[in-house]
């Protein structure tokens, strides 16, 4: 079967699945389409004339109340529904892309075990280049989330070797980041610290700089340093992360940050990273949510302060609530209130601790 025939069959499967779910829920094409899409776009998808993007699939799946992975055919579904043989699908780049996207979606939805199953079914001897890097990277990520430490490191080591051979600096950085998280998960905080310090040095030298990833690195460094009892450096790392978040929150439109990152990646011919940044920009156009990392960093910062100087911890946390409460989202306020409750509990002020718990 030719590539065009394979792609047409896959498109027909996705379209038929969307149409069946829409009809089952008694939705019109207009109800499914608006406001993001046109009715003609939905109609073309259902007829298999066009292939929706991953972002479009996510929106449609959410509207239909389904995991987005269900709208992408597995090998079994493809065989039974469209007559595509497994070997012909695996020989096609579009099929590889679909399988890897499904696995990535499973990971993001908290179903790492499903991602492992999805990836292990792929014929790795037929994968090449960026597909092989992403395969080992996602497999390592899924192993990390399922506490399979050695398998995680083995997969990431393979991904790193291929990334170096391909001079793929962007993926090398992401791989090293996961390695650092794996070291931390196994209690090797010194190696985790060295790995994330290496990542930080790379990020600070390259363009474009992703402020979100930079914030993540400072957060990771703060946690490693806390475990190593380097309290001053811990506080500095968390303060660096919070400074980045506060700067991001000053942007009238946060998606402008992603647009800038995407354009810089595109200029550097790193089109995959550019596409990811553009997708994130589109998502931010539809919703504005507080950065969840902010509450996590405040929680770790409060704990670090209490280990180094308890009185300073209370003064700092109460000061944040007093002077910045209007700028903090509910989750961040809850993190700070929880830290204060812990402070009062440790100092045997049970009544005050209970009050802060109730506020949190």
Both tokens of 14, joined, read 């996705």
Task: Report d(CA 57, CA 37) in Å as an integer.
Answer: 12
pLDDT digits (tens, 9 = 90+) for 226-246: 899 888 888 889 889 888 887
| 300: nearest Cα among 227, 350, 360 | 227
Q: What's 101's DSSP letter?
A: H
Q: What's 46's DSSP letter?
A: H
Note the pLDDT of residue 191.
94
Both tokens of 238, joined, read 């968390």
Note the pLDDT of residue 87.
45
Both tokens of 242, joined, read 């919070």
Higher pLDDT, 217 or 3: 217
Residue 129 makes CB contacts below 8 A (sequence gap 6+) with: 166
Burial of 94 (0-12, 13-18, 19+ CB in 10 A): middle
Going along the chain from its start, the domains and CATH numbers come out as: 1-91 (1.10.260.40), 299-359 (1.25.40)
| pLDDT band with cut points at 50, 70 and 90 for residue 10 | low
| pLDDT band with cut points at 50, 70 and 90 for residue 211 | confident
Task: Report d(CA 56, CA 45) in Å as an integer.
Answer: 10
> Average pLDDT in the 11-40 region?
80
Note the pLDDT of residue 72.
63
Q: Are 305 and 243 in contact (CB under 8 A)?
A: no
pLDDT digits (tens, 9 = 90+) for 141-189: 999 999 999 999 999 999 999 888 888 888 899 999 999 999 999 999 9
Q: Are 180 and 196 in contact (CB under 8 A)?
A: yes
pTM to 2 decimal places: 0.58
Task: Report d(CA 27, CA 22) in Å as an integer.
Answer: 5
Comparing 101-115, 153-167, 196-210, 300-314, the range with the smallest average pLDDT is: 300-314
Note the pLDDT of residue 77.
46
């Amino acid at each position: 079967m030719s590539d065009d025939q394979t792609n047409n069959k896959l498109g027909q499967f996705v379209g038929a699945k969307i149409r069946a779910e829409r009809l089952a829920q008694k939705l019109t094409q207009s109800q499914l389409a608006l406001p993001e899409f046109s009715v003609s776009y939905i109609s073309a998808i259902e007829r298999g004339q066009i292939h929706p993007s991953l972002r479009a699939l996510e929106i449609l799946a959410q509207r239909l109340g389904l995991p987005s992975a269900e709208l992408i055919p597995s090998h079994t579904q493809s065989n039974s529904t469209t007559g595509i043989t497994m070997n012909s699908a695996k020989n096609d780049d579009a099929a590889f892309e679909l399988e890897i996207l499904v696995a990535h979606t499973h990971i993001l939805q908290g179903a790492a075990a499903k991602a492992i199953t999805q990836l292990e079914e792929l014929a790795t001897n037929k994968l090449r280049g960026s597909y092989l890097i992403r395969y080992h990277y996602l497999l390592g990520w899924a192993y990390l989330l399922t506490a399979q430490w050695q398998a995680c490191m083995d997969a990431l080591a393979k991904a790193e070797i291929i990334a170096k051979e391909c001079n793929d600096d962007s993926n090398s950085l992401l791989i090293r980041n996961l390695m650092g998280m794996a070291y931390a998960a196994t209690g090797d905080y010194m190696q985790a610290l060295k790995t994330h310090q290496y990542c930080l040095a790379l990020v600070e030298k390259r363009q474009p700089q992703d402020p979100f990833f930079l914030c993540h690195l400072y957060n990771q460094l703060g946690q490693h340093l806390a475990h190593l009892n380097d309290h001053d450096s811990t506080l500095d790392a968390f303060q660096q992360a919070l400074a980045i978040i506060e700067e991001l929150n000053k942007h009238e439109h946060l998606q402008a940050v992603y647009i800038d990152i995407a354009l810089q990646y595109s200029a550097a011919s790193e089109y995959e990273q550019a596409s990811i940044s553009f997708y994130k920009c589109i998502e931010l156009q539809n919703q504005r949510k507080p950065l969840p990392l902010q509450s996590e960093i405040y929680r770790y910062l409060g704990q670090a302060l209490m280990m180094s100087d308890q009185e300073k911890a209370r003064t700092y946390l109460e000061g944040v609530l007093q002077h910045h409460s209007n700028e903090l989202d509910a989750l961040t306020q809850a993190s700070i209130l929880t830290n204060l409750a812990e402070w009062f509990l440790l100092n045997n002020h049970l009544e005050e601790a209970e009050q802060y718990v109730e506020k949190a």
